[in-house]
Each structure stands twice: as structure tokens, then as C-alpha cells.
Amino acid sequence: MKRTGFSILLLLITIVCGNAFSYGQSPGELEKQVPTVADVGADKLPPEIAPVKAPFPMPAFKKPVFPPLTIKITEKGAREGIMVTKAIQAAIDEMSKKKGGNVVVPKGIWKTGRISLKSNVNLHISEGAELHFSGEIEDYLPAVFTRNEGVELMSLGALIYANGQENIAITGKGKLVGPPDGPVRRRFMTVDVIEKVVPADKPVRERVYEGKNGGFIFPPMFISPIDCKKVYIEGITLENTPFWNVVPVYCDHVIIRGITVRSVGIPRGDGIDIESSRNVLVEYCTLSSGDDCFTIKAGRGEDGVRVNKPTEHVVIRYCLAREGHGGITCGSETAGMIRNLYVHDCVFDDTDTGLRFKTRRSRAGGGDNLTYERIRMNLRGDAIKFDMLGSRQYVGELADRLPARPVDRLTPAYRNITARNIVIEKARTFVDITGIPESPATNLLIENAKVNARSAFKASDATGVTLRNVSVTTRDSLLRGLDIQNVLFEKVTFDVPGNRYFTDFSGDGSKNIRFVDCRPAQPESRQ
């Protein structure tokens, strides 16, 4: 009887109000279900890792356990006011040889160059401890194997680096501070895009950029384990990075939880970049970034195709993106493919773009099976944005939409993307799609959304787009489309000026665009 009474009440509400949420989540239910700023981020980090539920298989994630053996860096001669790189490295090397334990950086301000993590070692940054990294290139030599913007080469690597290690950790409530103004920040490559500087036909061991004789370097990342298994990063704060902050590359089984990143104002100061890695959990992190906040990458162009390593099986949950170009971004380096990504229960607050999908005609690969649930956005820019062409500044004439090019090994594709249970408190455009004529954005489903934006929809070169059970309030009443097909607006309520909305759908490829059970029922054409 209770179920019957509820059904009758729901039917009456639907008839009287005509609400788009006549099935699925109502606006009130959605508001309660989707987290707020107060529910997520580093301040809310629980002591243990809850089981992971995802729409694809994921391993069981547990906090690592290290042997109780502990060495303080002061036991290896570290003193405040002097460079302590050798003392830290000696402690790490000794602990690894002893089959594992904890290297502790105690309270204080410590100056260091590059640190290389080794297997079975937890580098613990104590509360009140600060590691300040050098601004001199020689403190990060010799050059090591790294991947910069999706291209393999030999350069400075990362401020905290690891290669081929297993069971490594960086923990604690201390702080890492990037280099001050100096050669590391001034002498990085600026002459062109990386694929035009690093020869794809040269062996990686010969792609050496270490700044000798006044030459340039590729800027080091802050923390970047490469080809490592069982990586754990928890609790630390990172400030003033010279480049991307936390970047696992070719890694398997990575846990990043409860970290805070502050890199606003730093060009290319990405927060967390998951690159060609698998089985990754990111939770309860707070990022304020000079570029994208949470980013998924898989190699760039010809070099990325050669390596051919995907990023797959990644879960990001209970995280907070503050300032940044994108809350969660896929690309633009996509050569090895990005697949099986699940982002849920996150908040983007005062970020530019919300869900961002980037690639270029020359980048290859793309993304497949990407799912987003229970996301709240308060944005300066667009909520759901596809940018697949880029600009002439980076890819030349390939950024021109026409003519359509033949599909080849470097043609990327984004497909099978779902976003549901979304609250957008403020945005410029709800859905903004720029696809590629020969490789349109394909199969995008958005359902159960409450949206407040300046405009609702504009798209070019997209197919299989569905907006279902959406309530959208906008000042702009025009929906725009160019060569879009198989587009469905189902149970969408448009709260627009004058209670009238319009369409401008053009191009020979625009077809099968339907409005089903919408309010107002049908748009008016501007053509």
C-alpha cells in the first residue's frame, strides 16, 4: 500500500508540475545524494581504505605494512641549513638493503636535491617537516629515464623519483616545497612542442637533455614513480612544483589518498596525472592547481603509439578540485588509450572546466568506458567539454576542422562515456562538444542532472548523445549543433526566458535529433 500511495503521489506531481525528474532522481533527492565541499577532500580522510566498487573489476586495496625498522635522516648526518640529499639517500638505500622499513624526515626545514625511492621503503615526512628542493640543475643529475608530456627521454626525472621499484610509500603530514626561482625553472624547453623537439626515430638512451653548456632541460615532476608496483602516497602537502605534481608512469597498483596540492599560478602545474598506469585508487585529495587538477594520460603521438601502454582501471572518489583548468581531465595525451575510469562522489569548486576530454588528431588512442557519478560542480567555464581539435599553436593545420582527414594510426576517438547524478550549480555551458569530423565523439549519456548554466548545449561532430532526465536553467535559449546525429533529449525540462527554446542544427551530417517528453515539448527552429 505504501508503494502504491507513493506511486500515485508521484504521478500527480508529474501531471501537475511536468517535472523532468518524473523517473530517476528528483532534484531534491539529487541534492541530498551528491556530496558538497564539506563532505570530500583531504580533511575528510578516514584512517582505513573502504572497499572499492566500480563498473569494472578492481583489486582489493589495502594500506601497506612496512617492517618496524626506522632510520631518522639525522642519524645519517642531516642537519638543517645544509644540503641533506646524501643523508636522505643513504638512509633509503640502507633501509632497502635491510628488506624494508621507514625513513623519517623529522620536524624542521631540510634542503635537498633529487631523492630516489627504493623497494620496501616508506619515506615518512613528519608533521612540521618541510623538504625544500633545490633550484640548481646539478642537484638532479645525472639524467634519468623519464616521460615528459607523454614522450620518453632522459632528463631530470622528478624531485622524488623511482624506477622499477616495488612496495614504496611517501606518507606523513609534512610538506614538500618545490624549487625557488633558478635554472630548474628557467632553462626548460620552450622552443616548440615536445614532439617537434625530441626525435621519434632516435633511441631513448640518446634523447638526453641535462642542461649542459647552457642547454635546456625538461622540467622535473614533483613525485614520479616509473614502472613501479605497489605505490602508496598519503597525507602530504605539495607546494610550488616546477611541473606536474604527482605522476605515476607505467605503474601497477597505486594508491594516492589524502594529499593536498597547491600550484595555482604555475603553468603546467597539474595536480595528479595518472599516466599509462593501471589499478589506481585516488581518494580524499584536495587539489588547487595551475593547470588540470585530476588528469588521465596515456602517451603522446608516435612515441606513445610505440610504447602502447594504456591507463586502465582507475577509480577517483571523494576528492575536491579547487582552482584549476579542469576538475577531471582525460588527455590530451591519449595514445595508449584511456579505458575503465570511474569518478564518483567528487566536488569541483571554483574550477574552470568540470569533465574535460582532450585529444588532437596527432595524439592517437583516445578514451573508452568512462563513468562519472554523483559530481557537484561550481565552475567558471563549461561543465562537460570535449576539445578534440586543439589549436594551430600546437598542431598546426590539424586543428582545422575541415577537410576531414583519412583515419589512420594517429586518429584518436572518445566513446562510451556516462555521467549521471550530476549537480551543476554554475557553469558557462552545460555540454560543449568539439569532435573530429572523421572521428566524432560517440555515445555520451548524461542522465539525472540538475543544471544552472548560461547556455545548455552546443556540439559539432558528435553521434549518439543522450540527455535524459535533466532539469536545466539557462539564460540562453538556443541549442546549437553542426553535423551531429542520433541525439536524444528525453525528459528534459528547459527553464529558459519566455519558456521558449530554439535550435540551430546545421550541416549535412545533422540527422535524427529528437525531443521526447520534454518541457516545453518541442523547440522552435532558428534555421
Is it the case that residue 52 has pLDDT exceeding 80? yes
Asked if residues 358 and 150 have their Cβ atoms less than 8 Å apart, the reply is: no
Cell matching residue 188: 626548460
Return d(Cα 272, Cα 287) in angstroms, integer.
8
Quote the DSSP letter at residue 20: T
Q: Which amino acid is at 164?
A: G
Mean pLDDT value of segment 296-310? 97
- Number of folded domains that form the chain: 1
Mean pLDDT value of segment 254-282? 98
Is it the case that residue 4 has pLDDT exceeding 80? no
Report in angstroms the alpha-carbon separations of 527 from 176, 187, 488: 57, 53, 19
In this prediction, residue 420 carries a pLDDT of 98
Q: Report DSSP letters for 364-379, one per residue.
A: --EEEEEEEEEEEEEE
pTM: predicted TM-score of the whole model, two decimal places: 0.94
Is it the case that residue 169 has pLDDT exceeding 70? yes
Mean pLDDT value of segment 65-70? 96
Evaluate whether residue 349 is within a structural domain. yes
Evaluate whether residue 54 is within a structural domain. no
Cell matching residue 371: 563513468
Q: Which amino acid is at 205?
A: R
Is it the case that residue 70 has pLDDT exceeding 80? yes
Pairing, β 151-155 against β 144-148: antiparallel
In this prediction, residue 10 carries a pLDDT of 31
Lowest mean pLDDT among 11-20, 50-59, 100-109, 488-497: 11-20
Is it the case that residue 24 has pLDDT exceeding 90? no
The b/e string for 69-102 (b: 16+ C-beta within 10 A; e otherwise) is eebbbbebebeeeebbbebbbbbbebbbeeebbb
Evaluate whether residue 61 is within a structural domain. no
The b/e string for 204-230 (b: 16+ C-beta within 10 A; e otherwise) is beebebbbeeeebbbbbbbbbbbbbbb
Is it the case that residue 23 has pLDDT exceeding 60? no
Rounded mean pLDDT of the chain? Answer: 94
Distance of alpha carbon 267 from the chain centroid: 16
* 197-211 pLDDT per residue, tens: 999 999 999 999 999
Sign (positive or negative) of CA dihedral 201, 206, 210, 216: negative
CATH number at residue 389: 2.160.20.10
Please list, in sequence order, all residues whose beta carbon lies within 8 angstroms of the beta carbon of residue 428, skipping any fewer than 6 positions away.
379, 380, 381, 382, 453, 454, 455
* 375-396 pLDDT per residue, tens: 999 999 999 999 999 999 999 9
Is it the case that residue 87 has pLDDT exceeding 70? yes
In this prediction, residue 302 carries a pLDDT of 96
Q: Cα-flanking dihedrals φ and ψ of residue 12, to 5°?
A: -65, -40
Residue 521 CB-density burial (10 A; 0-12 exposed, 13-18 middle, 19+ buried)? exposed
Name residue 342's beta-bridge partners. Answer: 315, 371
Return d(Cα 440, Cα 443) in angstroms, integer.
10
Evaluate whether residue 281 is within a structural domain. yes
Is it the case that residue 1 has pLDDT exceeding 60? no
Is it the case that residue 17 has pLDDT exceeding 60? no
Evaluate whether residue 52 is within a structural domain. no
In this prediction, residue 18 carries a pLDDT of 35
Q: Report DSSP letters for 60-99, one per residue.
A: PP------S-EEEGGGGT--TTSB-HHHHHHHHHHHHHTT
Is it the case that residue 15 has pLDDT exceeding 90? no
In this prediction, residue 65 carries a pLDDT of 94
Asked if residues 84 and 112 have their Cβ atoms less than 8 Å apart, the reply is: yes
Evaluate whether residue 9 is within a structural domain. no
220: closest CA among 188, 196, 250, 192? 188
Parent domain of 384: 22-46+67-525
Lowest mean pLDDT among 11-15, 93-97, 126-130, 436-440: 11-15
> For residues 29 and 478, which has the higher predicted lDDT (pLDDT)?
478
Evaluate whether residue 16 is within a structural domain. no
Q: Cα-flanking dihedrals φ and ψ of residue 284, to 5°?
A: 55, 45
In this prediction, residue 28 carries a pLDDT of 79
Mean pLDDT value of segment 180-196? 94
Is it the case that residue 416 has pLDDT exceeding 60? yes
Evaluate whether residue 202 is within a structural domain. yes
Q: Cα-flanking dihedrals φ and ψ of residue 28, to 5°?
A: -65, -45
